[in-house]
Amino acid sequence: MREALRETDPHPAGGYLPNRWLTVALLLAALVLAGRLMGLGDALDDVLVNPPLVKAAMRVGGAPAAAGDAITSPAAPTGVQARALAQIAQATGQRATVEIWLRRALRDPQSAYLAQFELCRLYWQEGRRDKATEACRATKASAAYWLEHGYLADQHGDRAEALAYFQMAGNVEPALIAAWQHAGHALFAFERYDEAIQAYERVLALDPSPTADVVHALGQAYLSAGNPTLARDVLDRGLLIYPNQREFFLVMAETYRQEADLATADGWYGRILQRWPNDARTWAYRAEVAAAEGRWVDALTFLQEATTNQPEDVGYWQALAAAAAKAENVSVATDAHERVMALRPNDPGVWLQAGRFLAQTDQAGPARAVLAHVLVLQADNDEAAALLATLDDPTGQGQGSQ
Give residue-wise pLDDT tens across range 242-269.
999 999 999 999 999 999 999 999 999 9
In this prediction, residue 85 carries a pLDDT of 60
> Hey, which of 31-45, 164-178, 273-287 has the most confident mean pLDDT?
273-287
Q: Does residue 15 fall inside a structural domain?
A: no
In this prediction, residue 136 carries a pLDDT of 75
Q: Is the pLDDT of residue 376 over 60?
A: yes
pLDDT digit string, tens, across residues 84-105 = 666 665 666 666 656 665 666 5
Q: Is the pLDDT of residue 10 over 60?
A: no
In this prediction, residue 5 carries a pLDDT of 34
Phi, psi angle pair for 277, to nearest 5°: -65, -15
In this prediction, residue 243 carries a pLDDT of 95
In this prediction, residue 380 carries a pLDDT of 96
pLDDT digit string, tens, across residues 15-50 = 434 455 445 454 555 554 455 444 434 433 443 444
**Distances, alpha carbon 232 to alpha carbons 38, 220, 257, 274, 288, in Å:** 80, 10, 12, 21, 21
pLDDT digit string, tens, across residues 327-360 = 999 999 999 999 999 999 999 999 999 999 999 9
Q: Work out how many domains the chain is built from and give that number.
A: 1
Q: Does residue 184 fall inside a structural domain?
A: no
Q: Does residue 78 fall inside a structural domain?
A: yes
Q: Does residue 47 fall inside a structural domain?
A: yes
Q: Does residue 121 fall inside a structural domain?
A: yes
Instruction: Using a cut of 0.85, tell me whether the model's pTM lies above it.
Output: no
For residue 121, what are the domain limits? 43-138
pLDDT digit string, tens, across residues 300-332 = 999 999 999 999 999 999 999 999 999 999 999
If residue 287 lies in a helix (H) or strand (E), which one and from where to where? helix 280-292
Q: Does residue 215 fall inside a structural domain?
A: no
Q: Does residue 356 fall inside a structural domain?
A: no
In this prediction, residue 227 carries a pLDDT of 97
Q: Once rounded to an integer, what is the mean pLDDT over residues 370-399? A: 86
The band of 201, judged by pLDDT with boundaries at 50, 70 and 90, is very high
Q: Does residue 165 fall inside a structural domain?
A: no
